[in-house]
Amino acid sequence: MATGGATGDAKDSRGETPRSGLEAIILAAGKGSRFGGGKLLAPWGGGALLHGALAAAFAAPVRSVSLVWGADSNVAKAARAWAEAQGEAGRLRLIHAADFALGLSASLRAGVDSLPPDAAGAYVFLGDMPRVPHEALIPLAKALAAGAPAAAPWFGGRRGHPVLFGSDQFPALRALTGDRGAGDLLKALGDAVAKVPAPDDGVLFDVDQPADLI
């Protein structure tokens, strides 16, 4: 079930739209078992851990942000409260992945299925990555506009998040299974994936255990 909506295309600092019709998906449906539960609502930076991913997704050049929740309805409530406080409630869409227990791919499928039919592409953010540098987002959109099927930020020789997928990759995203996300798809695309340099390691930093919050 989805709520919310959006209109218009986000623009960069020069008033240019890198590619119209882009959307964002935040995967936030897991139980956070290794963390001990409640991970996305854990304190971080004066708010909740989830707030960092929300801030990054809304900073991207997108029309709407689809937050996929599953295990904890409080995650959806927290996202709605954050969006309302930021004046962004109209751009937030809350998507319930009823089959979230099947793994990350199920949440990703729910997110892709929720996108408007005219979506040109979608950023895929992870809810437990609070330090994604906003400066990396528009370069990803420009790489997609230049013809890449997907674009990913790189730092220290490693691929990070979010990954931006063009709409021609949506069928392949829907076909993924298990708890491995889109890694296999990116491997299959190989060198066609645009490697966009990231300004810092926030594209790699994620939270698995409470010690990661320190």
Domain ranges for the chain: 22-213
The label of the residue with tokens 């919050």 reads 213
Give the per-residue pLDDT at 86: 97
Give the per-residue pLDDT at 19: 46
Give the per-residue pLDDT at 27: 97
Q: How many residues does the chain have?
A: 214
Give the per-residue pLDDT at 5: 41
Give the per-residue pLDDT at 138: 97
Nearest C-alpha neighbor of 169 from the set 188, 186, 183, 149: 149
Give the per-residue pLDDT at 4: 44
**22-213: CATH, from 3.10.290.10, 3.40.50.620, 3.90.550.10, 2.40.10.220:** 3.90.550.10
Residue-wise pLDDT tens for the chain (214 aa)? 444 443 344 444 444 445 479 999 999 998 887 887 789 999 998 999 999 999 999 999 999 999 999 989 999 999 999 999 999 999 999 999 999 999 899 999 999 999 999 999 999 999 999 999 999 999 999 999 999 999 999 999 999 999 999 999 999 999 998 887 899 999 999 999 999 999 999 999 999 888 888 7
CA distance 23 to 63: 6
CA torsion sign for 129, 134, 139, 143 is: positive
CA distance 44 to 50: 8
